[in-house]
A = this chain, B = another copy of it.
Amino acid sequence: MIIHHGYFRSSSSYRCRIALNLKAVEGYYRPIHLLKDGGQQNSEAYAALNPQRLVPAFELDDGRVLTQSPAILEWIEETYPNPPLLPSCAIDRARVRAFCAVISCDIHPLQNLRVLQFLTAQFGADQEAKNQWCQRWISDGLAAAEKLLKNRLSTRFAFGDAPGMAEVYLIPQMYSADRFGVDLTNVPRLCEVAQACGGVDAFRAAHPSVQADAE
């Protein structure tokens, strides 16, 4: 069984939980608390597993370890092809992956815990300044993601009638947007998609609030 070393509030870990649930693949979720004990990811045991000291890390049966959620998610898609999380045509896959990259490259890295900590260390940013920083990038990025869905047929989910990779990235980002108090009135389509996901068990069971390490 896959051991998923994660943290309830980490977007990257949340993505992996959704993907495993959508594929109905059982994983054992082992919480790594990013703040307690000076950050449990900094323990020697965890650093041996993932020298980058980030979550998630997937430990496979044979002891091999996979890191970086974009790589893990492609591995999940390739290893457990059903149901598919990406469309069958290359151009359509590129469109979905572009949507995912807006979130994984243009938004998420900027609201990362270590980045916020460094904003304080280098520029003396207080909580309000850090919230403004996050709001700026989340708001810009979600507006860009919303535009990528413009002119699409009206489907229940972002790229079709079943949730897929787009929602795997989107839902954790919408959760983050909520935490940072981002105004979502200019992304109505993303809100609709998020609402549709709210009715799907795979998403509900992956929510941070129902994980073993939730606070």
Contact A52 B144 (CB under 8 A): yes
Instruction: Sort A-B residue pairs by CB-CB distance and give the 8 closest, nearest first.
Output: A71-B97, A68-B101, A68-B98, A75-B94, A71-B98, A123-B123, A109-B109, A51-B147
* One of A24-32, A35-43, A128-136, A183-191 contacting the partner: A128-136
Interface of A, secondary structure class, is: helix
A46 to chain B, nearest CB (A): 14
Knowing A68-B101, A144-B51 are in contact, say whether A93-B122 is a contact too (CB < 8 A): no
A207 neighbours in B (Cβ, 8 Å)? none
Minimal Cβ-Cβ distance residue in B for A147: B51
Contact A101 B71 (CB under 8 A): yes
Instruction: Determine if A66 is an interface residue (Cβ-Cβ < 8 Å).
Output: yes
Instruction: Determine if A210 is an interface residue (Cβ-Cβ < 8 Å).
Output: no
A69 neighbours in B (Cβ, 8 Å)? 101
Complex CA–CA separation, A162 to B118 (angstroms): 38
A148 neighbours in B (Cβ, 8 Å)? 51
Complex CA–CA separation, A108 to B70 (angstroms): 15
Instruction: Determine if A214 is an interface residue (Cβ-Cβ < 8 Å).
Output: no
Within 8 A of B (CB), among A28-78: 51-52, 60, 64, 66-72, 74-75, 78
Contact B75 A93 (CB under 8 A): yes
Knowing that A52-B144, A68-B98, A123-B129 touch, tell me 5 more A-B residue pairs with CB under 8 angstroms. Answer: A51-B147, A67-B98, A75-B94, A105-B109, A118-B133
Complex CA–CA separation, A41 to B98 (angstroms): 18
Instruction: Determine if A200 is an interface residue (Cβ-Cβ < 8 Å).
Output: no
Complex CA–CA separation, A17 to B101 (angstroms): 19
A125 neighbours in B (Cβ, 8 Å)? 123
Complex CA–CA separation, A110 to B122 (angstroms): 14
Contact B129 A122 (CB under 8 A): yes
A123 neighbours in B (Cβ, 8 Å)? 119, 123, 125, 129
